[in-house]
Amino acid sequence: MHYISTRGQTERKTFSDILLMGLAPDGGLMLPEEYPVVSETMLANWRNLSYKNLAFEIISLFATDIPAEDLHNIISRTYTEETFGTPDITPVRTLSDGIKIQALSNGPTLAFKDMAMQFLGNMFEYVLNKQNKQLNILGATSGDTGSAAEYALRGKKGVNVFMLSPEGKMSAFQRAQMFSLQDENIVNIAVKGMFDDCQDIVKAVQNDHSFKEKYHIGTVNSINWGRIVAQVVYYFAGYFRATENNRQEVSFCVPSGNFGNVCAGHIAKQMGLPIKRLIVATNENDVLDQFFKTGEYRPRNTEHTYVTSSPSMDISKASNFERFICDLMERDSSEVASLWAEVGTGKGFNLAFRLPEIREQYGFVSGKSLHRDRLATIKQVFETDGELIDPHTADGVKVAREVRLPDETIICLETALAAKFDETIREAVGDVAIPRPAKLAGLEDLPQRVQVVPNNADVVKMIIREKLDN
């Protein structure tokens, strides 16, 4: 399998090539020339596989340049009961009203990002060793990507991590998870601004081709294809857990900011997984909800991005959205480049005339949830089911309930554990005991290491130079 850029000006690449790449040289995102198609026989054979064996079957369709034995070894080391706390890896449970939740937060940082990042950490080490290369990761996080990346890459040979986060915008738990790491290859940088500012700095550095080449800059942000392909796996796993046979359809409700998680669902659907609808749940930063309701995509500048109680979705420029639009435009790269030129000017674009196709062929529908909605949902689920869900998952449950059709099976993808957002949980349900894994007791009291910088790409480049030139 080979990969091409959404903007059509990059030569075909292999999986190993794009794993270390980040943005394509032409500013686009890499995606397969075509998606593999899963037959009824394959679905039947996969239904009862363990998670790691299912992951091998799916990822091997995309990583065709990695020898099967090596790939199997990497995946076997990644998806273990020891790392994810359960042999099922992503068990599915059902709330009393019939909405299902797929647990994706059993990894080391208690967030769904671990599902892909643990794989990526092992994959990076393997490819770098094979190619005798060094990689310096520059990433941006609104809360969970940073800690998941740092825990996956800490101490890994040949890798440094420079992680940007918006100063003061994450929960105390999220900050402590990242800033308490003392590993030499981890550098935390808090930017005075919003997540979108951090993301813009990453893109600015990626687009400085001489700097990127000299310092071997890569990314683990959700634009990284290795992350997307690992996320495709849990859609299949969730489907098999929630159904009895492969004639049944399910819908997935996905809390969304950067469109990476739901993009993996879109790919699973294109491959032939029986997905009825992909429900995009946003918070107050509802740029994606606006698109799926009206066809207008109008990214906002950071002054108009709200700081909310579901901070991992406080995003107004959905980095992965370009991959879906490329599919929608039937891989017309010049059209995609033209649309993103409009995004670059701040105007955005309007595809209202494609809404029937977006809904019927691709199955997209959306909704939004506000602070009061997530508090009410957390409280209601606690009272009826005796469990605490995090604010992002609550956004998903609220929207799923709102748009559910008669007899529709909806699986909400869990974003994180409630322990990461104790302030909001207590606002919703009062002063209750919030379960936390024993190994994370006292996390916020550990010494923290972080550099606070202005919103300036040149300052970030200077930090990278100082670290790598010494």
Interval 165-215: pLDDT, tens: 999 998 889 899 999 999 999 999 999 999 889 989 998 998 898 999 999
Residue 22: which region, alpha, beta or left (left: phi > 0; alpha: psi -120 to 50)?
left
H, E, C per residue of 163-188:
EEEECCCCCHHHHHHHHCCCCCCEEE
pLDDT of residue 281: 98
pLDDT of residue 168: 92
Is 64 part of any domain? no
Is 424 part of any domain? yes
Is 245 part of any domain? yes
Q: What is the CATH number of the domain that holds 350?
A: 3.40.50.1100
pLDDT of residue 23: 82
Helical residues (DSSP H) of 29-112, grouped into ranges = 40-46, 51-62, 68-78, 81-84
pLDDT of residue 447: 96
pLDDT of residue 304: 84
Q: Could you say which residues of the chain have pLDDT below 50?
A: none
Task: Look up the pTM and report it.
Answer: 0.92
Domain that holds residue 418: 87-108+225-429
User: How many domains are there within the chain?
Assistant: 1
Catalytic residue list: 113
pLDDT of residue 463: 97
Is 251 part of any domain? yes
Is 264 part of any domain? yes
203: which DSSP letter? Answer: H
Is 407 part of any domain? yes
Is 333 part of any domain? yes
Is 30 part of any domain? no
Q: Which H or E run includes 352?
A: none
